Structure 1
Amino acid sequence: MATMKSVQTGAVGKVEVVDVERPVPGPKDVLVKIRACGICGTDVTFLHMGGMPARAHLGGELVPVALGHEPAGEIVEVGAEVTELKVGDRVVVNPQDAPTGIIGCGGRYGGMSEYLLVENATVGRSVAVFPDTVPFDVASLNEPMAVALHCVNRSGARPQEKVVVFGAGPIGLGATIWLKLRGVEHVVVVDVLPGRLEKALAVGADAVINSAEEDVAARLTELHGPGANALGQPRPGTDLYIDAAGAAAVFNTVVASAKWGARLVMVAVQKKGSEIDLGGMLRSELTLIASQGYPTEIFEVTPQLIEHHERFAQLISDRVPFSAADRAFELALTPGAAEKVVVTFDA
């Protein structure tokens, strides 16, 4: 039996690199040699939990999770009935299309492995092919950039609008790139870490605000001009707010700052619940829009990721070899230590 190494959750806050059976593709499958896989906040959540609860009929105890849902790699085996793909194709994967469960999120397979079985492999549904002009580490951004694009699509952002993005992590910066590629006139990024704000300017933000040092509403008024809520109270002229931070303070800041008819898109998972000032929402007729995942965007992003790969490459803060996977996850677990960690695999 051929084996391979795969990363799964271990004790709380730890990963284990284990030897597992190397999958064998069936007639409709392909086997992908993984060359890069990003670490996501969802991976970190599983680590904090020490796994995920098993189904109720199994007693509900925690079971290990095969990690990694942001893989990119090269096809090394092709099933007999697969006609659209061939050995040597470089692909990104849709983790939600696997019939045995979401890749890296409780399914049978995880992308943080030496090899990944893509079941019922179909171009445009389970995989997309990308050229060798795009490095594998940048290609692994395909999945999180689909999350960011769905957020922007949900926002309905128009070119003439003024937008602020809270949180300069990968999703916030990805949303910033998509907004500018969409032709949005003015995009401000808010964060508390100077290095992240510098990165935001590098990827195309028109201005940044350090909310630890500046009055956000006052700065937005300077940047976006004056507006007012339904009662005529002065507010910044910002049209659209995007919460890619998931902090209660962001929501409260938006409600207190929103002009009449402003919109707020929540794409970040809220870390803590907070009391919502419904009266403040009423006074601005603030529209709250939730954004989850990527119903259609998983491969809609791929052509622009290919075209603008050097711009998206700036989102990666750390590239760590698979041989040091435990260190990669330690970085991802440490607040402020890294922005986007990608684990790389030898050819």
Structure 2
Amino acid sequence: MATMKSVQTAAVHKVEVVDVERPVPGPKDALVRIRACGICGTDVTFLHMGGMPARAHAGGDIVPVPLGHEPAGEIVETGAEVTGLKAGDRVVINPQDAPTGIIGCGGKYGGMSEYLLIENAEAGKSVAVFPDTVPFEVASLNEPMAVARHCVNRSEAGPGDKVVVFGAGPIGLGAAIWLKLRGVEHVVVADVIPSRLEKALAVGADAVIDSATEDVTTRLTELHGQAANALGQPRPGTDIYIDAAGVPAVINTTVNSAKWGAKLVMVAVQKKSDDIDLGGMLRSELTLIASQGYPTEIFEVTPELVEHHERFAKLISHRVPFSDIHRAFELTLTPGAAEKVVVSFDAED
């Protein structure tokens, strides 16, 4: 029996590398050698719990989770009934298409493994092929950039809009890139970490706000001009607020700053917060829009990721070899230590 190494949750805030059976593709499947896999905030959530509750157990027992839902790799074997894909194809993966559960998010398989079985492999549905001009590490950004793209799509931002993105992590910066590629006139990024704000400017943001030291409403008025809410009270001329931070201060700041008819798009996982000032929302007729996942965007983003791969590569702060996997997760668990960690796998058997 051939085996492979795979990463799963262990104790709280710990991962372990386990030897598991290497999957064997059936007639409709493909086997992918993983070459890179990103670490995401969802992985950190599983680490905080030490796994996830088993649905089959009434007592809610915590069971290990095979990790990794941002993989990119190379097909090494296809089943006899697979068409449109072949050994040697470099692919990004749709983790939500797996029939045995979302890859790396409670499903049978995790992408932080030497090999990954793609069940019912189908180009454009479960995987998308990308050229060798794009490094595997950059290709692994496909999934989080689909999340960011869906957020921007939900905002319906147009060229004449003025937008602020709260949170200069991978999703926030990805949203800023998509907004500029969409032709949006002015994009501001707000964060409390100066190095992240520098990165925001590097990927194309028009301006940044250090919300730890600057008054956000005042700065937005300086950048976007002055407008008013429904009662005529002065407000910044910002059209769209994007929450990629998930902290109560963002919601409160938006409600207090929003002009008449502004939009707030929530893409970050929301932390428990105080009550929202619904009266403040009413005074601005603020539209609240939730953005979850990527209903259609998972492979819509791939051609543009390929075209602008050097720009997206700037989002990666740390490239860590699989042999140093524990350090990769320690970096991700340490607040402010890393923006985006991607794990690289040796190409050799």
Shift of 1:55: 1.2
Q: SS at 2:67's partner residue?
A: coil
1:89-238 correspondence runs (5 A): 89-238=89-238
Quote the offset at 1:58 in angstroms: 5.9
AA matched with 2:161:
E
User: 3-state SS of the aligned residue for 1:208?
Assistant: strand
Contact 2:83–2:122 (Cα < 8 Å) also in 1: no
Identity %: 85
Q: Which amino acid aligns with 1:165?
A: V
User: What is the CA distance between 1:154 and its match in structure 2?
Assistant: 0.3
| CA distance in structure 2 between the partners assigned to 1:342 and 1:272 by the alignment | 29
Letter in 1 for 2:28: K
Write out aligned runs for 1:12-51 (5 A).
12-51=12-51
**1:265 paired to 2:272:** no
Ranges of 4+ aligned residues in structure 1 off by more than 6 Å? none
Q: CA deviation at 1:59?
A: 3.8
Letter in 2 for 1:108: K
Query: What is the aligned length?
Result: 347
Shift of 1:275: 1.1
Equivalent residue of 2:116, what SS?
A: strand
Q: Which residue of 1 is the match for residue 338 of structure 2?
A: 338
TM-score, L = length of structure 2: 0.99
TM-score by length of 1: 0.99
Find the aligned partners of 1:79 and 1:66 in 2 and give their Cα distance.
24
Give the aligned residue type for 1:160. Answer: G
Kindly state the Cα deviation for residue 56 of structure 1 after the two structures are TM-superposed: 4.0
Deviation at 1:57, TM superposition (A): 4.1
Q: Which residue of 2 aligns with 1:68?
A: 68
Write the deviation string for residues 20-68 of structure 1: whole angstroms up to 9, x where unpaired.
0000000000000000000000000000000000014464200000000
Q: Match of 2:77?
A: 77
SS of structure 2 residue aligned to 1:8: strand
Deviation at 1:182, TM superposition (A): 0.2
Gaps of 5+ in 1: none
Other-structure match for 1:308: 308
Equivalent position amino acid for 1:206 in 2: D
Unaligned runs of 5+ in 2: none
Other-structure match for 2:2? 2
Cα distance in 2 for residues equivalent to 1:143 and 1:105: 13
Counterparts of 2:236 and 2:331 in 1: how far apart (Å)? Answer: 37
Q: Secondary structure at the match of 1:255?
A: helix
Tell me the amino acid that sits aligned with residue 29 of structure 1.
D
Greater CA deviation, 51-60 or 35-44? 51-60
TM-fit CA distance, 1:272: 2.0
Distance of 2:83 and 2:224 partners within structure 1: 53
C-alpha offsets along residues 139-169 of structure 1, whole Å, 9 cap, x if unaligned?
A: 0000000000000000010100100000000
**C-alpha displacement at 1:273, in angstroms?**
2.4
Distance across 2 between alignment mates of 1:189 and 1:4? 42
